[in-house]
Structure 1
Amino acid sequence: MTRRREMIKIKAPPEWGIEPVPEKHRILGFLDYFALWSSLGVGLLVLLAGTLLVPGLGLGRALLAIVVGTAIGNLLLALAGVVGSDHAIPTMVMLRPVLGIRGSYLPTILNIVQLIGWGAFEVIVMAEAANTISQTLFGFSNYLLWALFFAAWCTLLAVGGPLVVVRQWLEKFAIWPVYGITIYLTWYLFSHHDIGALLRQAGTGELPFWLAVDLVVAMP
């Protein structure tokens, strides 16, 4: 019983502040990062963001915007990742050599604000999805309860840190239903819709192409 409690206990990860993470603690590898970023790439928020591109662009131009935006966004992320990997310091600390200590405060504050907004948006989307599913399958509807549940769960994951999120949550459980649902949705799309007709369908023109690209760049 004691051993089981130790296994499920969530502890706050060690913190090094602005100091580089010691080499012995840099243990996440290729598969860990693949699980993390692939799960973000097929998450609810990404799927929801994709719906914002149509019918303004049409499916063909929307897919092109996704390809262009993904390439730009991944390039920027990779460049920041190279610096972070080389020096083993947090993103906001990397700004200090460029902007100075005081100069780094503004982007740090803006980053905190956008993370709060992003986290709130995630909770809203997950709560809406869970409430819709529970109402459809079981006749149970309580959006506030779902929102509180997901907010508490995300807080626990944040306290647990990246090792808990990646190795205990994603790799052991969460990533597999995500992959399964993604495969099912892909199969359903190709088996129930005429993809050629959808690609030929023109957009309404309400969404500029480069604004759509900008939206994709901002996504994980």
Structure 2
Amino acid sequence: MSESTTSPAASPVTAQSEAPLSLTEPPPRTLNLRACLGLWGNLGVSLLLPVAAMYVVLPGRPLAATITAIVVGAVIGSALLGLGAAAGAREGVPAMVLMRGLLGGRMSYLPTVFNLVQCVGWATFEIVVIAEAASRVLDLPRWPFVLAGGLLATLMALRPLAAARILARYAVWAALAAVVYLFVEVVRHPLPEINDYGAVSFWAAVDIVIALPVSWFPLAADYTRHARDGRSALLGTSIGYGAATVAMFTLGALALAAYGAAGLDVVDALLAVPFGIVAVLVLVVVELDEAFANIYSTAVSAQNFAARLDRRLLAGLVGVTATVLALTFDIAAYEPFLFLIGAVFVPLVGVFAVVYFVLPRAGWDVTTHAPARPALLLPWIAGFVAYQLTLPTFFAGTGAGWTAWWTARQEDLGIDPANGWSASLVSLAVAAVLTVAVELPRTRNYRRRVHS
């Protein structure tokens, strides 16, 4: 066994067991179904979701249509997320180490690099969201909240399983109380149809909702490697995150209808609710878990390059970097790039799901010496191309050339830019079908060996 491969077997641990400092140590299995539900339910409670609801509502149609799109997207996205979580629990390794079995030891460095960039970016973005919301609620300068948010998130990343236990036992109930209260207050207002903004079609709305759970796929196994079994990981992750996704997107859609708010003004609308300041402050505090998760996953992903690196040192460096970026960088201008990286992982989910759960295989090699499988780059790349041809990632300013190039390719192929399709589902389908085609020869050889 490679020195950088952890054992999937559960080790005798106490209730206070913490995540291993390096990949050379076995992960303690302390997260039961309730803990997984609490952790992923909290990760799904984010102020980004009600703000993003303006892109999900279906203009000129009843709110029931929008809520249906939210539910469909949450079910699909959280089911895919749950598959990655279950695989992490089965193999007992972090997400990027899990990619060794798919692409090979060294080829797993490719998704790892993408994941490092997106995790640092999203950690920065979450710290900005926390600081911005807190400063608006309390009418104070933003920078102290940036420092406080970055510090607290980094401290949580140093003791991730302790943070997960707190989230499951306490924070989830505070978040639930705040969300339920805001729901009750919002639905007391008239809820007319929304006509001014929203998604171009039902499936375009579904696509946006799918993107949120799937964006966590490259991180899921970092936490569920500590789950006691695959069932707890699958159900806890998919149900916890899926339910939170439905709740937060629906809350945003209802706030848009009730208050006629748009974009970041959704937060202002919720603040207008009686005692809304208290409820929003609770959600701001709960938002820390997203920043913590991204910081911790950056550290764990980096260990795929060097198994003996201490995750505490890595998490500290990432936390400082994200905090400095939140103080100095226009993260809003970086947001489209984060969505572009997210689009990179959507087809990878399709490739992984087919190879791991559908096609027969002898085992899953997560050692550093796992053989390279370059043929699987084809369905991954094809899925990404299909995503961009369906819905090019939108850039403004200096990045507008990217959007313009893909829009021109849509015209060349006769694809209507306002096609209304789900880019995520198209990308997943292309990647899955091509994966089957690429893997058929290996699958046949495996079956011959089994039956000989």
1:87 lines up with 2:87 in the alignment: no
Q: Which has the higher contact order (CA 8 A, sep 6+)?
A: 1
How many residues align? The count is 196
C-alpha distance in 2 between matches for 1:85 and 1:116: 24
**Aligned match of 2:21:** 15
What letter corresponds to residue 211 of structure 1 in structure 2? A
**Alpha-carbon offset, residue 99 of structure 1:** 0.5
Residues 33-73 of structure 1, C-alpha deviation per residue, up to 9 Å, x if partnerless?
11111122222222222233247586444323211211111
Native 8 Å contact 2:59 2:197 kept in 1? yes
**How has the CA–CA distance of structure 1 residues 56 and 158 changed in structure 2, closer, same or farther, with 3 Å as cutoff?**
farther
More helix by share: 1
**Aligned match of 2:163:** 165
Native 8 Å contact 1:84 1:91 kept in 2? yes
**How has the CA–CA distance of structure 1 residues 205 and 142 changed in structure 2, closer, same or farther, with 3 Å as cutoff?**
closer
**Alpha-carbon offset, residue 20 of structure 1:** 5.2
**Aligned match of 1:103:** 107
Residues 88-142 of structure 1, C-alpha deviation per residue, up to 9 Å, x if partnerless?
111111111220112111111111111111111111111111111111xxxxx11
Q: 1:65 aligns with which of 65, 69, 88?
A: 69
Q: What stretches of structure 2 of length at least 5 have no aligned partner? A: 1-16, 214-452
What letter corresponds to residue 211 of structure 2 in structure 1? A
C-alpha distance in 1 between matches for 2:135 and 2:197: 32
**Aligned match of 2:142:** 143
C-alpha distance in 2 between matches for 1:99 and 1:57: 46
Bigger Rg over Cα: 2
Native 8 Å contact 1:18 1:93 kept in 2? no
Q: Report the RMSD for the aligned CA atoms in angstroms.
A: 2.5
Native 8 Å contact 2:134 2:145 kept in 1? yes
What letter corresponds to residue 89 of structure 1 in structure 2? V
**Aligned match of 2:128:** 124
Q: 2:48 aligns with which of 45, 54, 58?
A: 45
Native 8 Å contact 2:58 2:205 kept in 1? no
What letter corresponds to residue 180 of structure 1 in structure 2? A
TM-score (norm 2): 0.40
**Alpha-carbon offset, residue 74 of structure 1:** 1.1
C-alpha distance in 1 between matches for 2:204 and 2:60: 11
C-alpha distance in 2 between matches for 1:81 and 1:75: 10
Structure 1 runs of 4+ with >6 Å offset: none
Residues 9-47 of structure 1, C-alpha deviation per residue, up to 9 Å, x if partnerless?
xx97423416653xxx20111111111111222222222
Secondary structure of 2:120's match?
helix
**Aligned match of 1:31:** 34
**How has the CA–CA distance of structure 1 residues 98 and 18 changed in structure 2, closer, same or farther, with 3 Å as cutoff?**
farther
**Alpha-carbon offset, residue 165 of structure 1:** 1.3
Native 8 Å contact 1:57 1:209 kept in 2? no
**Aligned match of 1:6:** none
Q: 1:174 aligns with which of 171, 175, 185?
A: 171
Native 8 Å contact 1:35 1:175 kept in 2? yes
Native 8 Å contact 1:18 1:90 kept in 2? no
TM-score (norm 1): 0.78
**Alpha-carbon offset, residue 143 of structure 1:** 0.4
Native 8 Å contact 1:57 1:208 kept in 2? no
**Aligned match of 1:213:** 206
Secondary structure of 1:28's match?
coil
Secondary structure of 1:103's match?
coil
**How has the CA–CA distance of structure 1 residues 96 and 73 changed in structure 2, closer, same or farther, with 3 Å as cutoff?**
same
**Aligned match of 1:191:** 188
**How has the CA–CA distance of structure 1 residues 205 and 217 changed in structure 2, closer, same or farther, with 3 Å as cutoff?**
closer
**How has the CA–CA distance of structure 1 residues 70 and 55 changed in structure 2, closer, same or farther, with 3 Å as cutoff?**
closer
Secondary structure of 1:193's match?
coil
C-alpha distance in 2 between matches for 1:172 and 1:178: 11
C-alpha distance in 2 between matches for 1:57 and 1:37: 33
Native 8 Å contact 1:66 1:213 kept in 2? yes
